[in-house]
Amino acid sequence: MGEKSEQKKEHILGCARKVFVEKGFRSVTMKDIVEASEISRGGLYLYFSNTAEIFLEVLKRETEADDDVFSVSISEDATATDILLLFFKEQKKELLRRRGDLSIATYEFYFARGREERENHLRDQYDAGVRILKHLIDQGIASGEFYEVDSSVFAGNIMLVIEGLKILSRTRRISEKLVDTQFAHLLQQLCMEDE
């Protein structure tokens, strides 16, 4: 693909992202994306054949950007507790963000396709979260910071609480206090110094 085509594709994806943030996924049509990006219908179909294809491409870029952010923010001598606190802080920020993200569109996309699709970004994100937290809890147990919990089950519990808070935050207003109280509860069950 030439440089100009690459630019046009980026332009389409940028405009499409705004449409998905605004309208979710299920009710978005190719016509919406044609209008948002101010190109011709034929022009759009040169690059993408349906809204699902566009959405997956938008989501892919978003996820890559997220990974970059996470990898730079942890210093090398951080304890397991430090990292867990940082993780909760990041999650809290995302939970309390009012709008402008793809979470609702992502839910809507996987409502329709999640059970059949082989690629499932929501599932991968959750599974990766459980894996990382399990590893972190194992480290905290080894270093004597954490109680000897079942790290796999506990990691799942933390991720489910976060998923619960996330869906709550997208379907109603949630308070900062709710997030703080629940994260403090999880920390208290895990960290010895928090008792």
Q: Which of residues 125-164 bind a second copy (CB under 8 A)?
A: 126, 150, 153-154, 156-157, 159-164
Instruction: Rank residues 52 and 122 by Cβ distance to a second copy and give the closer one.
Output: 122
Q: Return the residue of 54, 84, 104, 136 that touches a second copy, per CB under 8 A.
A: 104
CA dist., res. 132 & res. 60, Å (int): 20
The torsion angles phi and psi of 37, rounded to 5 degrees, stand at: -95, 0
128: number of Cβ within 10 Å:
12
78 in contact with a second copy (CB under 8 A): no
- The answer to whether 183 touches 157, Cβ cutoff 8 Å, is no
120 binds a second copy (CB under 8 A): yes
* Per CB under 8 A, 13 contacts a second copy: no
The rounded radius of gyration (Å) of the Cα atoms in the chain is 20
- The span of 1-9, 50-58, 133-141, 172-180 binding a second copy (CB under 8 A) equals 172-180
Q: Is 167 in the site for a second copy (CB under 8 A)?
A: yes
Q: Is 74 in the site for a second copy (CB under 8 A)?
A: no
Between the alpha carbon of residue 85 and those of residues 8, 12, 89, 125, the distances in Å are 41, 38, 6, 19
How far apart (Å, rounded) are the C-alpha atoms in residues 16 and 134? 36
Provide, rounded to whole angstroms, the least separation between the CB of residue 115 and a second copy. 6
Span interacting with a second copy, options 30-38, 82-90, 139-147, 179-187, rule CB under 8 A: 179-187
CB of 12 or CB of 159, closer to a second copy = 159
Q: How far apart are CA 192 and CA 186, in angstroms?
A: 12
Q: How many residues belong to the chain?
A: 195
Which one of residues 1, 27, 69, 195 is an interface residue with a second copy (CB under 8 A)? 27
Comparing CB distances to a second copy, the nearer of 139 and 189 is 189
Backbone angles phi, psi at 146, to 5 degrees: -110, 155
- Both tokens of 23, joined, read 């309208």
CA dist., res. 59 & res. 102, Å (int): 8
Interface residues toward a second copy, by CB under 8 A: 24, 26-27, 104, 107-108, 110-112, 114-115, 120, 122-123, 126, 150, 153-154, 156-157, 159-168, 170-173, 178, 181-182, 185, 189
